[in-house]
Structure 1
């Protein structure tokens, strides 16, 4: 516990944890909500993760829990035969504190917590507002059941729901605040409808290309749209129903080949470039691949829109005549190059300059600096 006390002191000194939340963090220590079995990154493991148990490796377990880092609590949706993809986690304490600060709760507020996970955030909200002011929704029944046990053991009793967080929970609506710990590509209409006018929604938001923004959305008054800005650089796991498609190279499809007009490194120059590019290339996801026999010579970026268009660009000799392969209705690498040029022409805006408007019919538009300047 001494390590956790020091962590809270560090977060307070850094300005991440304010006095209005300090008491809740003290009453709900993170360790009370972390499962006895977690996963730590391990490049030598077949799946990329090493299992760490509290019983067999207590020092390693406590080190993960009481530091300002992510703790992976589930891989492959709980399947034993998966590829080793993290599917649930306990977020960094500094990020949890940041999101709760942006939620801007007041005494008496009702909050919907989307994505119960370990139950820690739900406990913090209960510690700040009271059990009867918090409803939490979790899509995974196994995760929800374990969170219920840990919440009860720690003395917290929010209303718990097992279901799709994208649908919210209308039975307890309206809410003053909605807090999501899973990323969305589109803000669900249900969240808008279940939030009081003037209320706030805080959620990770991104594109398949760059899952990077924390959206602070103010719900509009009756007859008015909702507006919000991106207030921080965050990366969360996707809502399960909004997970991007896999990047699959087409077989037996003719492609267009040519040189690249841009060094592929610049396509991910920094988070601001990636975020802006993602806004301009709808539906496009990337991955890096290589051939084990010659990793440096074959390292390449592959792109797909999930609708038949695909591209690949080689990092070595990227301006050679055969460096870029593109197929399908869209020329995805050309779109990436054009999107980055737009970002440069706009003065390299960082993600804080972008925002979102949700119209009354649920239509979502993203803009730069103000709602009158939509991102095409």
Structure 2
């Protein structure tokens, strides 16, 4: 049994790949959609990644293709001089299978696949539902062109669109299902408008603080919005238009406030559930770890910033010291994070799957815990 066949067998054995999808995964193998050049992390490379070519290093290329890991297929939107941010990928096979399972397609359903990427998910949907049932949209023309070639090579012919997935594709609406392979902070109202009542939307969803939730929504009747729960812990690349701002280290020599921390800063990222819950209560806040390599223990700091001029940092060592916390700007960001963590503790440390989301017809988002009536402040 080859490595891919073994992977499918293993996924089926643990219940991650049902029989309704097994044939599609066999007819549309991952290897058919991985580009000839992929990117692997490399601390010695200027931007943190080095390329692996199928032609120059076939053994390493196949190692990546047959792995159970995410494969980075583009860095910095294809620019050669970027900072080293992964911007397109082939997702973990187990995660692809999980998302398709949550999509709960049935024969005859139509699907809008947002974020064509390599084309693999589009091919799986075509293999399961038929070409005529699948519309796939990709914002990057070069990525879309490569995916089109690979789809054609295995005979898959979905409707392909180059455009902004946040706008959906009204020409093919309404859809029974919408499937997004890029994370959003705000679910676009047009996705709901383009989904049939009772239809399902599956998308990664997160906050700048914690890009961590897989959201499954059910569309209501026209004018009723959508409602759903977070069904898993995932981290996907952001929709380009919704990428969080970059964070820089707090550089002001004299912060407006300094003092001790009320909590150990490790607790701000205690686990994915804590980080997700904190992120819900500290809107617009992103984080960064910094330290001096010559003294990593003594200089390790946790930085926070929003996009409106507030910033903060806290020292990990001696975090209760009189100058451990520095804060500046209209918001006291570390105080907010501390209060959010205490609120998570008061709620009995809920896992992220206890949270849900209501989206009104106007596009307002309300996050709730356990039941739609228990809306977070």
Q: Same fold (TM over 0.5)?
A: yes
Q: Deviations over 1:197-247 (max 9, x none)?
A: 000000000000000000000001234331100000000000000000011
Q: Distance in 2 between matches of 1:244 and 1:124?
A: 30
Q: Structure 2 length as normaliser, TM-score?
A: 0.98
What is the CA deviation profile of residues 129-188 of structure 1, one whole-angstrom value per residue up to 9, with x for unaligned ones?
Answer: 001100001001110010011111111010001111000000000000000000000110
Alignment of 1:105-144 (within 5 A): 105-144=105-144
Show the counterpart of 1:246.
246
- Match of 2:26, SS state, is helix
CA distance in 2, matches of 1:82, 1:43: 15
Query: What stretches of structure 1 of length at least 5 have no aligned partner?
Result: none
Q: CA deviation at 1:43?
A: 2.3
Change (3 A) 1:313 1:277: same
Give the secondary-structure state (helix, strand or coil) at the position aligned to 1:44. coil
2:84 counterpart residue number: 84
Tell me if structure 1 keeps the 8 A contact 2:189–2:361: no
Residue 250 of structure 1 and its aligned partner are, at CA, apart by 5.4
CA distance in 1, matches of 2:223, 2:330: 39
Contact 1:253/1:327 (CA < 8 Å) preserved in 2?
A: no
Could you tell me how far 1:253 is from its partner in structure 2? 6.9
**CA-to-aligned-CA distance 1:322-375 (integer Å, 9 cap, x gap):** 110000010000000000000000000000000000112111110000110001
Aligned residues: 376
CA distance in 1 between partners of 2:223 and 2:90 (Å): 38
CA–CA separation in structure 2 for the residues paired with 1:290 and 1:77: 28
CA contact (8 A) 1:209 1:286 kept: yes
Aligned to 1:277: 278
Please report how far the alpha carbon of residue 103 of structure 1 lies from its aligned counterpart in structure 2 after TM superposition: 0.1
1:249-270 CA distance string (max 9 Å, x none): 3557742100101100000000
Aligned position for 1:214: 214
Over 3 Å off, 4+ runs: 249-254
Q: Which runs of no fewer than 5 residues in structure 2 stay unpaired?
A: none
Aligned residue number for residue 268 of structure 1: 269
Mapping of residues 46-125 of structure 1, within 5 Å: 46-125=46-125
Deviations 1:96-135 (A, max 9, x none): 0000000000001000000000000000000000011000
Over the aligned positions, Cα root-mean-square deviation in angstroms equals 1.1
Normalized against structure 1, the TM-score is what? 0.98
